[in-house]
Amino acid sequence: MKIKEMMKFAWDNYKQYAFGKNELRPLTKNGHIGNMFGGLRGATVVDALDTLYIMELEEEFQEAKKWVEKSFDLNVNGEASLFEVNIRYIGGLLAAYYLTGEEVFRSKALELGEKLLPAFNTPTGIPRGVINLGSGMSWSWGWASAGSSILAEFGTLHLEFLHLTELSGNPVFAEKVMNIRKVLNRVEKPQGLYPNFLSPVTGNWVQHHVSIGGLGDSFYEYLIKSWLMSDKKDSEAKKMYDDALEAIEKHLVRRSAGGLTYIAEWRGGILDHKMGHLACFSGGMIALGAEHASEERKQHYMDLAAEITNTCHESYARSDTKLGPEAFRFDTGTEAMATRLSERYYILRPEVVESYMYMWRLTHDLKYRQWGWEVVKALEKHCRVEAGFSGIRDVYTTVPTHDNMQQSFFLAETLKYLYLLFCEDDVLSLDDWVFNTEAHPLPVNHTNFKTKASVQ
Ligand code: DMJ
């Protein structure tokens, strides 16, 4: 199918021009290293493994596997984002292991997991955001207020760390994330909301900015998915999710004059009527949670999920390229469009097609496939270049303004979710797998361990 061809094209060009680097620069036809992975290389290889596998791109999967076996060096010495290493590398390796049963993926995931542990050596056990993978020294991002840690970063470790304990028999990984849970459960939440910045020293919030987009997003996602991954036994996670969603709906969800439902950002009680592309994952998350809500809440949450997904679709439909901006606003007469020049870009992000995939699987309303197909066509038209796919700087103009970057999450997430949108429901069934926030599938309660995903 078309999406498999797109994946092969993205992979082939990465292999030809950037193999072993973190990402492909498709215009200049070279590799990009970046500064998020602390000297680790091959982010695109590890992020792409499971997508290649489920699309049955066998030769390409073998190339990727061989690179992990022969060239993936973990003895590096650089500053890495704990969050990014976890979701892309550990998540990618764990998923590859569960899909194939190949030992190399398990052992690399565990070895890398060990290297992340020193980040948790803080007075509260809340990890710092940056870690030197060689020395184990860790610190907070320079831009985060007053040495704080970020909710979406320390709140997005739970799924992977439970699997690291499961696969190693070493309880330390699970202990670290259960402790994070404990701190978050204990701390007082303004209006029931979770602010984005917490001090790893005192365990208190550093400021009251709440967002279901960047800085907050995947923390909420991991609450509901922790419960699902535990085969619905982790009732603490479910309660935290239910309570958080109730507070979000009360304080952040709003409807525009034109009838579009959106999730605003909250700054100490004042609403910023802006929704980031990142926040568009929430349609899928709320639909996934709705499935398991009480009878009287189920329809309500399915409606909310559909409305938010519709709003995100509008942000695409209202642009000239039919791709959505990084952030869109609902003020001064604007609805679902970027108002600032700096928010007009699209960097091949997955969140909108992610919600289409969940909404399709949970409702089978054909419009989600139609909307997904609109994205496929737009990607082909505006992002495909001679040597790969590139982000664009302005979704409101059809004159090409490429950013020269093929993000690794395009292969891990955007193309995988598009592919699953057009597959039968039993390909990585939502009953048996949960996707980590980088779309790497992890089995529910291990029932699917070593089960080869079948593809139609
Ligand atoms: C991905 O790395 C993950 O989805 C993360 O949770 C948010 N940002 C990117 C994609 O946009």
pLDDT tens digits, one per residue of 278-287: 999 999 999 9
Instruction: Name the active-site residue from 23, 47, 84, 234.
Output: 84
Predicted confidence (pLDDT) at residue 19 exceeds the cutoff of 50: yes
**Which of residues 410 and 269 earns the better pLDDT score?**
410
Q: Which domains does the chain show, CATH number per domain?
A: 2-443 (1.50.10.10)
Q: How far is the CA of 203 from the centre of ligand 1 (A)?
A: 26
Indicate the burial class of 347 (C-beta count within 10 angstroms; 0-12, 13-18, 19 or more): middle
Nearest CA to ligand 1 atom 3: 438
Catalytic, 84? Answer yes
- pLDDT per position as a tens digit, 337-359: 999 999 999 999 999 999 999 99
What are the beta bridge partners of residue 392? 346, 402
Distance of alpha carbon 15 from alpha carbon 406, whole angstroms: 12
User: What is the distance in A from the centroid of ligand 1 to the CA of 168?
Assistant: 27
pLDDT at 449 over 70: no
> Rounded to whole angstroms, how far apart are CA atoms 228 and 444?
7
- Token pair for residue 106? 């398990």
- pLDDT at position 15 over 60: yes
Candidates 47, 50, 60, 217; catalytic one = 217
In this predicted structure, the answer to whether residue 325 has a pLDDT above a threshold of 50 is yes
pLDDT at 146: 83
- Was 398 annotated as part of a binding site? no
- Could you confirm whether 380 is annotated as catalytic? no
pLDDT of residue 116: 98
Compute the chain's Rg from CA coordinates.
20
pLDDT at 450 over 50: no
What are 352-394's pLDDT values in tens digits?
Answer: 999 999 999 999 999 999 999 999 999 999 999 999 999 999 9
Active site includes 23? no
H helices within 194-294, ranges in order? 217-229, 235-251, 282-290
Provide the pLDDT confidence category of residue 456 given band limits of 50, 70 and 90. Answer: very low
